[in-house]
Structure 1
Amino acid sequence: MSGSPADEGSPAPGPERALRLGTRASTLALAQSGMVAEALTAATGRAVELVHVTTYGDTSREALSVIGGTGVFVNALREAIYAGDVDFAVHSLKDLPTAAPEGLHLAAITERAAVNDALVARDGLKLADLPAGAKVGTGAARRMALLKMIRPDLEIVPIRGNVDTRVNHVRSGDLDAVVVALAGLQRLGRAEEATEVFGPDVILPSPGQGALAVECKDPELAELLAVLDSPLTRAAVVAERTMLAVLEAGCSAPVGGHAIALDDNVLSLTGVVATVSGSRGLRLSHAGAVSEPEALGRRVAQALLADGAAELMEAGA
């Protein structure tokens, strides 16, 4: 698939044809894109068709930290937009690199679903009930580190794959439990499979977790897609992602962030940074104006850095 940010933009999609929504072909990605398509049609009357795009992250079995982080799920979708093969794309916001892409509009950030992580364990067990040495699978450095901070006696096993693949590790007996995003289970209608849901006070989520990002190239289409935007969700995730960017952390660093609107004017942001091993960690919160989420994100990141966050992210133990 060819195309670059410098390519001339395709004409704005006219009302005579369906809008082409680029999506990964996984069950979860299709469910999320289908939700966006239905919401857009309901709000604007425009028909939407899903166009499957295969990303390198879908075909490679290597660890995300090896193949370039969560951005590998995003690049092929962006290339499809640049090339004019699709009109817009839907991403899990936590997968988006913090650097803004040239020539694309983040037209909408949808209302956030649950931010929580969830445990899916054998025999309905909770985290505290797992025996010492139990094998718990996850693909995220953040989850690995925070789980080890809570239960250093567990064996944390790096895994990848879609929700089915991960949960089947438990069903088959290969693992005692896995940790996944609750929002993914909910969007697949499988929330009942969670044996425990972790509050942000226990396991802080990834910046942007639970929200969907809608990206396009054409400015007129961006105006149409803006009907799906949730201003409070956008403020919260901008604060979280600004914190991540200032920390210069990627998916290989154990960093969590969660912002929540205390009211229409005040936003509270909590950030956590840990060593990969979970032996040490920092956590702090600050509040700021909803209208200035970038300033809040910078403030939390700078406070974490002042307390030694850079050393923790670089440490292996």
Structure 2
Amino acid sequence: MTTTPLRLGTRRSALAMAQARYVAGRLSALGHEVELVEITTKGDVSAAPLDRIGGTGVFVAALREALLDGRVDLAVHSLKDLPTAPADGLVLAAVPEREDPRDVLCARDGLKLSDLPVGARVGTGSPRREAQLRALGLGIEIVGLRGNVDTRLGKVTDGVLDAVVLARAGLSRLGRLDSVTEVLDPMQVLPAPGQGALGIECRTADTTLVEALGALDDSAARAAVTAERTLLAVLEAGCTAPVGAYAEAAEGDSGLELYIRAVVAARDGSVSIRKSATGSLGGAEQIGRDLAHELLADGAGAVVDAAGAASKEE
């Protein structure tokens, strides 16, 4: 039981608040008093595309500053937004059980992806989603999109767009799964590394808190995201790069195994390199590293570099 409330830092968006309340609820059940502290990030006050304002790491920097200067004791991140490089003085203390990480289509008239007519306008702010959708050769028009979930879904309701592609996990946490018309098969569109998972950070020196937060850690979720994020780091690709990865634990011949699929795709859909690997949960980091090197051997480095150069020119 904590004697003073734990100050939990969170962004102010509806989704971030829902995620923070989930973590607060888990901690409360363990006997800790928690108060939420709202932090405004650069990503929240800019309407520019993420790859032009520093990638999704812009959602993280302000929370990390609040941790390091002592304004909050812990912070909750969408793990897909967390840069792969470690932050001095901070530790990823827990990765709770993961939500379904797949992407979903939210379309007019209940349409599925294969039902969309040629020229249909589909909104997304993700180069990864754009690259994989274009690679399918469906003849749809990809329209850049920013804003919260309601703003994005409203573009479909208002007829501005025929569909939007979002993360199922976010819609689930907001109670908006009724907007989903299709859960996208990872064979077509792989999610972002870490999608659907939360990361709870605190100061490395707060050893008592690190130990307390460990009670929220899910070993299968941590292994999966470790493999995905290691792959991203080895590719030297940022959080907004056209890289998809999905690792999951499944029963194998000798117990639980980790199976990971990954894709690196050109933003215009002209190149799509896919690979997969299997290994033990304990070898998650090495699995991600080895798979990244396989992708690089097939030319993934040039695709990532080209995508980075293009985003700087925009």
User: 2: distance between equivalents of 1:214 and 1:203?
Assistant: 27
Q: Which of 262, 272, 277 is 1:281 aligned to? A: 272
Q: Tell whether the 8 Å contact from 1:260 to 1:268 is kept in structure 2 after alignment.
A: yes
Question: 2:241 maps to which residue?
Answer: 253
Question: 1:299 maps to which residue?
Answer: 290
Question: 1:11 maps to which residue?
Answer: none
Question: 1:68 maps to which residue?
Answer: 54
Gaps of 5+ in 2: none
TM-score (normalised: structure 1): 0.93
Deviation of 1:252 (Å): 3.7
Q: Tell whether the 8 Å contact from 2:2 to 2:31 is kept in structure 1 after alignment.
A: no
Matched position secondary structure for 2:264: strand
Deviation of 1:251 (Å): 3.0
Q: Which of 23, 27, 30 is 2:14 aligned to? A: 27
Alignment of 1:17-166 (within 5 A): 17-42=4-29, 44-166=30-152
Gaps of 5+ in 1: 1-13
Question: 2:169 maps to which residue?
Answer: 183
The answer to whether the aligner puts 1:290 opposite 2:281 as a matched pair is: yes
* Aligned-partner residue type, residue 75 of structure 2: A
Question: 1:201 maps to which residue?
Answer: 187
Question: 1:235 maps to which residue?
Answer: 223
Q: Tell whether the 8 Å contact from 1:276 to 1:315 is kept in structure 2 after alignment.
A: no
Deviation of 1:262 (Å): 2.1
User: 1: distance between equivalents of 2:306 and 2:82?
Assistant: 25
CA offsets 1:77-129 (integer angstroms, 9 cap, x no match): 00111111111000000000000100001110010101110111111111111
Deviation of 1:259 (Å): 0.8
Q: Tell whether the 8 Å contact from 1:265 to 1:291 is kept in structure 2 after alignment.
A: no
Matched position secondary structure for 2:21: helix
* Aligned-partner residue type, residue 277 of structure 1: D
Deviation of 1:202 (Å): 1.9
Deviation of 1:171 (Å): 1.0
Deviation of 1:152 (Å): 4.3
Q: More displaced, 52-61 or 266-275?
A: 266-275
* Aligned-partner residue type, residue 37 of structure 1: A
TM-score (normalised: structure 2): 0.94
Q: Tell whether the 8 Å contact from 2:49 to 2:146 is kept in structure 1 after alignment.
A: yes
User: 1: distance between equivalents of 2:239 and 2:8?
Assistant: 26
Matched position secondary structure for 1:270: strand
Deviation of 1:288 (Å): 1.4
CA offsets 1:185-207 (integer angstroms, 9 cap, x no match): 10011111101111222211100
Matched position secondary structure for 1:30: helix
Question: 2:207 maps to which residue?
Answer: 219
Q: Tell whether the 8 Å contact from 1:112 to 1:212 is kept in structure 2 after alignment.
A: yes
Q: Tell whether the 8 Å contact from 2:129 to 2:242 is kept in structure 1 after alignment.
A: yes
Give the percent of matched residue pairs that are identical in Structure 1 and Structure 2. 56
User: 2: distance between equivalents of 1:17 and 1:220?
Assistant: 13
Q: Tell whether the 8 Å contact from 1:141 to 1:254 is kept in structure 2 after alignment.
A: yes
User: 2: distance between equivalents of 1:103 and 1:111?
Assistant: 25
Matched position secondary structure for 2:193: coil
* Aligned-partner residue type, residue 272 of structure 1: V
User: 2: distance between equivalents of 1:17 and 1:253?
Assistant: 41
* Aligned-partner residue type, residue 20 of structure 1: R
Q: RMSD value over aligned CA atoms? A: 1.3
Q: Tell whether the 8 Å contact from 2:190 to 2:246 is kept in structure 1 after alignment.
A: yes
CA offsets 1:192-232 (integer angstroms, 9 cap, x no match): 11011112222111000100000001221111111100011
